[in-house]
Amino acid sequence: MTILVTGGAGYIGSHTVLELLTSGYDVVVLDNLCNASAESLKRVELLTGKTVTFYKADIRDRAAVDGIFERHRIEAVIHFAGLKAVGESTAKPLDYYSVNVSGSVVLAQAMAAAGVTKLIFSSSATVYGEDAPVPYREDMPRGKTSNPYGTSKAMVEQILTDISFADERWSAVLLRYFNPFGAHLSGQIGEDPQGVPNNLMPFIAQVAVGRRESLSIFGDDYDTKDGTCERDYLHVVDLAKGHVLALKATEQSGTHIYNLGTGKATSVKQVVQAFERVTGVTIPYSIAPRRAGDLPAFWAEASKAFSELGWRAEMGIDDMMRDTWRWQQNNPNGYRG
Ligand code: NAD
Ligand code: WQD
């Protein structure tokens, strides 16, 4: 059975391609490599002993996407391709709506034309919005998003919901990720951000390896256990496995929503302490002002994915630290060597 993975050379995509291959699926990847390296897929091939068919193309290029459906008998699509930097989305909203929203529309049009109607979409906990009570449950309405990135995810969720309502052959699985951390246990594939990392884990890893001097913790005066923000961090390999299990849900028509998180909240200071404990490396940090748009604390109600898909996170924060560190030490400059 062949799965098309858009954005499959990226961080979560490459880990998912690996899990698909080891679960016996054939995989075709479309990625324009704007935030990834083809090296990730070469390493996935080495780790699995299997091959990946790769197309370097833009998700908005209808002819290129049509060509893939003509050449391969695709059973289902896992759609990761998109832009994901929250701050950048505020500065360049059109880029985000073009790639994330128009790109998803082009993909869905190409799928419809090819008669492929099973889609898994990378959504985000951010769609619950600024005012949702915690923990977030899938039956809560989407809330007020605070940036074009989050709005683009909410818009695509709605578009896919409408498509599956209009045509009963369609199945759209909306996976709302919480905060993915970590890397594959081999230390061969991991997160490789371009420029200064926006996210906490790659920043800590780059401080640890000497690429950056010190971590700024954005605020320690929140109403949380130690004053720093709390998030639901999950291991990227657990997240990748969630996609393989979610393929089961594409067998039923309609829209299916799942949180992929651990159900536990960890503070920024606890993350730093865990990294230091697991690696023995001290992370110099200072307290900086709050970052605009940060919510104090959110985490998943994670039971639906377990009861319906049989998925739950198996790894904890220490595993995420160990595996991030292994990846970062093996690849201090990411895929650039
Ligand atoms: P990533 O940037 O590593 O992966 C996205 C991939 O899409 C990259 O390989 C990039 O080259 C590709 N891409 C971007 N624009 C494209 C285009 N126009 N055409 C074709 N390919 C294109 O990011 P990731 O962390 O692996 O995230 C994957 C998906 O999950 C994204 O949709 C992201 O919004 C979503 N998501 C990520 C997180 C997170 O914290 N990492 C959380 C929630 C949701
Ligand atoms: C985590 C915590 C920061 C960096 C974002 C998106 C979300 C989703 C995941 C895609 C926060 C603190 C961070 C630093 C810090 N992405 N921090 N110093 O903001 O929870 O979620 O990525 O869908 O939509 O918003 O993740 O890793 O940026 O931050 O103190 O240098 O770490 O304030 O509390 P976030 P993050």
Instruction: List the domain boundaries for the chain.
Output: 2-180+234-261
The residue whose CA has the least distance to atom 23 of ligand 2 is 124
Query: Does the CB atom of residue 55 touch ligand 1 within 6 A?
Result: no
Model confidence over 214-237: pLDDT tens digits? 999 999 999 999 999 999 999 999
Would you call the peptide bond into 135 cis, given omega within 30 degrees of 0 as the criterion?
A: yes
- Could you read off the pLDDT of 232-283 as tens digits, one per residue? 999 999 999 999 999 999 999 999 999 999 999 999 999 999 999 999 999 9
Residue 73 Cα to ligand 2 midpoint, Å, equals 38
Cα angle: 97, vertex 100, 104; to 5 degrees: 120
Q: How far is the CA of 109 from the centre of ligand 1 (A)?
A: 20
Q: Work out the percent of the chain whose per-residue pLDDT is above 70.
A: 100
CATH class of 2-180+234-261: alpha beta
- Among 55, 97, 128, 149, the active-site one is 149
Ligand 2 neighbours by CB, cut-off 6 Å: 84, 86, 124, 126, 179, 198-200, 203, 215-218, 229, 231, 268, 291, 294
Instruction: Report the pLDDT value the prediction gives residue 188, as an integer from 0 to 100.
Output: 98
Cα atoms found within 13 Å of the Cα of residue 50, Cβ hemisphere only? 16
Tokens of 116: 């492929």
200 contact partners, CB below 8 Å, separation of at least 6: 179, 268, 271
Look up residue 22 and give its amino acid.
T
**In the predicted model, what is the mean pLDDT of residues 333-337?**
89
**Tokens, residue 151:** 């709005």
Q: Tell me what pLDDT residue 334 has.
A: 95
Q: Which of 26, 15, 13 is nearest to 79 (CA)?
A: 13
Phi, then psi, of 103 in degrees rounded to 5: -60, -40
Which of 31, 62, 65, 179 gets mutated to test ligand 1 (max ligand atoms within 8 A of its CB)?
31
Q: Which two tokens mark 104? A: 């998803």
243 Cα: distance to centroid of ligand 1 (angstroms) = 15
| Distance from Cα 216 to the centre of ligand 2, integer Å | 12
Residue range 273-316, pLDDT digits in tens = 999 999 999 999 999 999 999 999 999 999 999 999 999 999 99
Pairing outcome for strands 266-267 and 230-231: antiparallel
Ligand 1 near 8 CB (within 6 A): no
Q: In which residue are the tokens 């050379």 written?
A: 9
Residues 33 and 54 sit within 8 Å (Cβ to Cβ)? no
Q: Percent of the chain scored above 90 by pLDDT?
A: 99
Note whether 28 and 51 are within 8 A (CB). Answer: no
First to last CA, the chain: 34
**CA 204, CA 69: separation in Å to the nearest integer?**
41
Atom number in ligand 2 closest to CA 126: 24
- Does residue 337 carry a pLDDT above 80? no
* Contact assessment for residue 337 and residue 331, using Cβ atoms and an 8 Å cutoff: yes
Q: Which of helix, strand or coil describes residue 165?
A: helix
Give the pLDDT of residue 45: 99
